[in-house]
Amino acid sequence: MRQRMHYMERLLAHYTGKSTLDAETLKTLAESVEKGRAGPEPCRTGAGAHVSTEPEVGLEAEVQSQSSDSFKVDEITVQPLENNITHYSGEFSHWNFSMRIKQWIEQCVNVGLLGLFLWGEILLTIAQDAPDGPKTQFKEYYRPEELQSSNAVASLSSLPPRYVADFLVHAFFNHAETSYFYVERHWLKEKLDLVYENPASLTRRDVGTVCMILIIFAIGTQYAYLDSRDERGGPPSAAADSSPFSEDTIGIMFYQQACRLVPDVITISSLESVQACLLIGLYTLPLDASGLSYVYLNLAVKLAIQNGMHRKYPGDAIDPVIRETRNRVWWTAYTTEKRIGIFHGRPVSIAASDVDAELPTDRTDIWPASAPPNTAHMLATLQLNNALSRIAYQISLFKTYEKHEIPEGMAKLVEMKAQLHNWWNSLPESTFCKDPTSGPEVFRPTMHLRLEYCLVRMFAGRPFIFPRDSARSTASSSGSPADSAPPPRTSSSTGKTHPRSVLVADCVDAALCVVETCRLLRNSVGLARASYTEFSSCRAALLVIITQCLQKKTDRLRDALREGMAMLKEMSAGGESAKSEMSLIEAFERAISRLDTADDSSSAKESDYARFKKWEMLWKTDTPGAHDVRSDRGLDAALPIPPYPMVFGRGNQGQGGHVAPGAGRQGTASLPPTMPFFGLDGSLSPMPPALDEFSAMFENGYVPGFEGLGGGVNGNWMGL
């Protein structure tokens, strides 16, 4: 005990600056501490002073917690550190609660008092005569840097020559970045100069930068062939090369070197760490979108959250360029990860309500060199993905709908689709060139925006594209899937298009638009085999077209399927995951071809002429006296036959062919004696009733009777 008292006196003498600690000095210090503690508490007199104060303290805390002022302290913490590292802590976190206690202590302690407090394992020291009041100093610890490797920058030995590095960086910015933002080009150039000219200046905290450089080189190898137009004398084509691409080996080497740095990248958790993981996710996107890439994208989002990039920065201590870079990198990581999650059935990693980061701004004055291009395309892409999120959420509600709620849910989807169309039509043509066929040149960011727009449209209608009756009999139907089993129509719904048909029709139209857009890319700047947007949109479009080929045969669908298959095969070169998806679609296409071959062979067995001759034989069999082709009557006899041979076509009311009542059997009429029928110079008997049995032989059907049937197109028989 005496030894402890001795140590305590030494500590007090050190922190109070008092050389002597007699009873009077200690009494003065103790009274000062008691007065400081009693300051914030309410004064109590009388009998109430002898009552326990715990209920009053709890009641006061409850009253203060219910007031609006008590929540002003619970603000987020975004504290910039060095090397683009930011400490973030959200509302009501352990850290924020600790800082509230720290602030309370600083308010309670007098300026002239110096004390020693032990709180947990943190040593708190109150400084004397501070210019702005007492401050609590403690050992700050934000990143476990002691876990980093000592040779984090050893991967610099695998860097290529500078001219190769410049070429790969050019390929990255020219083909891979498109409508998103991954890194500022001028900043990257400065870092490359540092790495190649003064690598000794790099420290362990630069591991994120080194990882970024390596993975950018790897991505550049994926798009390098697109710059081979001059050598080939035409549009670059992935199919012209051997598979796998020879440069893929170099890209894998860069990727593996970057992955060796990932543990240190995560440990330091800087802005460059977020960018590095985001770029690794971009590199692996065409290789394993739903697996490895999704994990890296999710990791980038988590590191960004650790740095508070998902929140609006409340202060002004961050450089404007870094602040804008943080916002752009966040929205790229957040949007890409969410889009991959929706398309591949992954849950939401962060709620939209938890995100209030500032959107990218087109400020050219803050950048040291030229501002990042395509800001307008990036903002439009973010709006598209917001629409995708809303549509995906609306579709997910169908799992919880009762049967009577489904029509209302489909109506909401149709409304969302209409809003999406209106938004697209409102985009300025001068900036986005929504009709690329009329533009002077094809711009890849514009094409990607169009592809993503079509992807959202296909996603909205895809769940309803399957016919309600999945039997093979629907394959011969020429209508849309929604028409295979139409809902019962009432007088109020007559004439209105069913929401299911609207969604499916727009989905099919978007799929055909994707094939057209990919064709434009292939014939101009070239299809990018590593572009997830181009490959996934073409793949999704082909799946939609295949479902339509199972139900109807049109040259437009078959041509789109054939052309889309060729382009998808071209983009799948060099990637095993893409080849796997391609093989599945090829299997579907072969199955459809076999079905078509079977249908064609069955049709070939009985040609149109053979069917006509069969009909002729049935006519002769069922018509009395039909064996006597020529009649004793002349051609001037009136023939009770219909004005148009409607047995070959479906009737069309309101387009001519009106028959007056009482004109013969089922609306028959007499022809002038100078009008021969089928070129016969004899007479024909009236239509036999047995013809009704043969109407199924004709694709357009047969309607018994001739009342009000004009037939064909514009009232002409069989459209002639």
Q: If you ran DSSP here, which 8-state letter would residue 173 be given? A: I
Give the SS3 label for residue 504.
Answer: helix
pLDDT score of 158 more than 80: yes
User: Locate tokens 């309500």: which residue?
Assistant: 353
150 versus 662: the higher-pLDDT residue is 150
User: How far is 81 from 46, CA to CA, in rounded Å?
Assistant: 53
Q: What is the pLDDT of residue 228?
A: 76
User: How far is 352 from 334, CA to CA, in rounded Å?
Assistant: 10
Task: Using only the alpha carbons of the chain, give its radius of gyration.
Answer: 39
Q: What is the mean pLDDT of the chain?
A: 74
Cis-peptide, bond into residue 55, ω within 30° of zero:
no
101 versus 504: the higher-pLDDT residue is 504
Q: What is the pLDDT of residue 282?
A: 97
Q: What is the pLDDT of residues 668-718, one digit of tens each?
A: 444 444 444 333 344 444 444 443 443 333 444 334 433 333 444 444 433
| Tokens at 72, concatenated | 């002003």
User: How far is 153 from 149, CA to CA, in rounded Å?
Assistant: 9
Neighbours of 621 (CB within 10 A): 11
For the chain, what percent of residues have pLDDT higher than 70? Answer: 61
Q: What is the pLDDT of residue 608?
A: 72
pLDDT score of 83 more than 80: no
Q: Are 285 and 532 in contact (CB under 8 A)?
A: yes
pLDDT score of 604 more than 70: no
Sign of CA dihedral 315, 319, 324, 330: negative
Q: What is the pLDDT of residue 161?
A: 94
User: How far is 521 from 535, CA to CA, in rounded Å?
Assistant: 12
| Tokens at 645, concatenated | 């041979």
pLDDT score of 134 more than 60: no
Helix (H) or strand (E) holding 80: strand 77-80
pLDDT score of 369 more than 60: yes
Q: If you ran DSSP here, which 8-state letter would residue 415 be given? A: H
Backbone angles phi, psi at 149, to 5 degrees: -75, 150
Q: Are 467 and 484 in contact (CB under 8 A)?
A: yes
Q: If you ran DSSP here, which 8-state letter would residue 119 be given? A: E
Enumerate residues 6+ apart whose C-beta is below 8 A from 404.
none
Q: What is the pLDDT of residue 522?
A: 92
Enumerate residues 6+ apart whose C-beta is below 8 A from 279.
182, 183, 212, 215, 216, 219
User: How far is 87 from 93, CA to CA, in rounded Å?
Assistant: 13
Sign of CA dihedral 296, 350, 342, 171: negative
Half-sphere exposure of 290 (CA within 13 A, CB side): 10
Cis-peptide, bond into residue 673, ω within 30° of zero:
no
Angle (CA) 572 550 498, round 5°: 110
**C-alpha distance from residue 223 to each of 174, 245, 248, 473, 526 (Å):** 9, 11, 10, 46, 10
User: How far is 329 from 308, CA to CA, in rounded Å?
Assistant: 12
Q: pLDDT tier at 46 (50, 70, 90 boundaries)? A: very low
User: Locate tokens 């402890």: which residue?
Assistant: 4
Q: Crossing angle for the helix pair 294-306 and 271-284, nearest 10 degrees?
A: 170
Q: What is the pLDDT of residue 279?
A: 98
User: How far is 487 from 469, CA to CA, in rounded Å?
Assistant: 13
Q: pLDDT tier at 391 (50, 70, 90 boundaries)? A: very high
Number of alpha helices (DSSP H) and beta strands (DSSP E) in the chain: 22, 7
User: How far is 275 from 690, CA to CA, in rounded Å?
Assistant: 77
Q: What is the pLDDT of residues 268-313, one digit of tens each?
A: 989 999 999 999 999 999 999 999 999 999 999 999 999 989 998 8
Q: What is the pLDDT of residue 702?
A: 39
Give the SS3 label for residue 377.
Answer: helix
**C-alpha distance from residue 582 to each of 13, 48, 459, 573 (Å):** 79, 83, 20, 10
Q: If you ran DSSP here, which 8-state letter would residue 439 be given? A: S
Residues in the chain, how many? 720
Give the SS3 label for residue 640.
Answer: strand
Q: What is the pLDDT of residues 19-33, one digit of tens each?
A: 666 777 777 777 766
Q: pLDDT tier at 54 (50, 70, 90 boundaries)? A: very low
| Residues 347/351/357/360 CA torsion (nearest 10 deg) | 40
**Residue whose C-alpha is closest to residue 512's, from 569, 474, 555:** 555
Q: What is the pLDDT of residue 420?
A: 96
Q: Are 195 and 159 in contact (CB under 8 A)?
A: yes
Q: What is the pLDDT of residues 311-332, one digit of tens each?
A: 988 888 888 999 999 999 999 9
User: How far is 450 from 147, CA to CA, in rounded Å?
Assistant: 46
Give the SS3 label for residue 122.
Answer: strand
Cross-strand pairs, 124: 117
Sign of CA dihedral 87, 93, 97, 98: negative
Helix, strand, coil percentages, rounded to 5, for the chain: 60, 5, 40
Return the exposure string of 17-38: e unless at least 16 CB atoms fall within 10 Å of the residue's CB, then b: eeeeeeeeeeeebeeeeeebee
Least confident of 278-287, 328-337, 621-630: 621-630
Q: Say if pTM beats, i.e. exceeds, 0.85.
A: no
Amino acid present at 583:
S
